[in-house]
Structure 1
């Protein structure tokens, strides 16, 4: 396993990329994006996750986050585990036209790793990058919010519903409350 992108400072501010195995376009469906939003809200309310920015793209999620209790790795582990269970439940019990294909891909991904029981939805990595300066934070914040624009989904970042860009633009609708980053950065 790679060690280049581990969360080494559990109290630090991190830019995270959480991706679906095989870069499967799972989040092209609103149901699955809504599961992510609901579970991020739960982690904010019950696990001390502080979200500063996010975007949910078709096959990955970018987040700038920190954990109040200096346990970011544990919070992310729980988030990914429970979100995977919710997604798999929706796939198996919902009206998913790609059911067999998705379950096959997630089963094949699980076979490759001893940690998985039957299915693997997310990769094990979080591609965690420690954010240590205002310039670096601003760069990642802009990257997150411009992701849907670069993908050709929207013309302006704040027009993408599944992003914190509207939080920063002070526009509605907002799906998830975030803590707005202001310079100079200070940790919790």
Structure 2
């Protein structure tokens, strides 16, 4: 693994991304997004996660994070492990999920290819952490993260997208209690 994609300094915030295998659009369903939201809330309360910014797109997640307790790589590992198992279970139980059989087949197939998995693989390996040092770099990542749904054509303004911290940075209250960077 490249030295560039590791957490080297737990004192700095990091920009991380995790992606559904093969970029499958899973987060088009509200219930799957809420599993991720609840997991982030849990890690803030119980694992020392400092969440500065976040967004859930249809097939990937961007976060700007820090820590007050456990190492960031351990927190992310736990988030990915918990959400993958919980989302797979939700897909299995969701009789309204028109893609249920296909999704489960695909995640099972991806799991067979990775000996680290018990059965299914939901997330791609890695989170590509980028250490954020300096205001310019933080601004760039905040802009990029919050403007994702605008670039996708889903909303006109970042703060109109419910599943992100853009509302918080616009002075309103979002779904998750975050720590503003500025």
- Report the TM-score, using the length of structure 2 for normalisation: 0.95
Q: Structure 2: which 5+ runs fail to align? A: none
1:32-71 Cα deviation digits (max 9, x unpaired): 1111101000000000100000110000000000111250
Aligned equivalent of 1:34: 34
SS in 1 for 2:4: coil
Structure 1 moving runs of 4+ over 2 Å = 1-4, 8-12
| Superposition CA RMSD, Å | 1.2
Deviation at 1:99, TM superposition (A): 1.0
Match of 2:148 in 1: 147
1:63-108 C-alpha deviation (Å, 9 max, x unpaired): 0001112500000000110111110110111222211111111112
Provide structure 1 residue ranges, at least 5 long, that are not aligned to the other structure. 183-188
CA contact (8 A) 1:11 1:70 kept: no
Cα distance, 1:4 vs. partner?
3.4
Q: Using a 3 Å threshold, how does the CA distance of structure 1 residues 158 and 149 change in structure 2: closer, same or farther? A: same
Equivalent-residue separation in structure 1 for 2:93 and 2:70 (angstroms): 36
Give TM-score, length-normalised by structure 1. Answer: 0.92
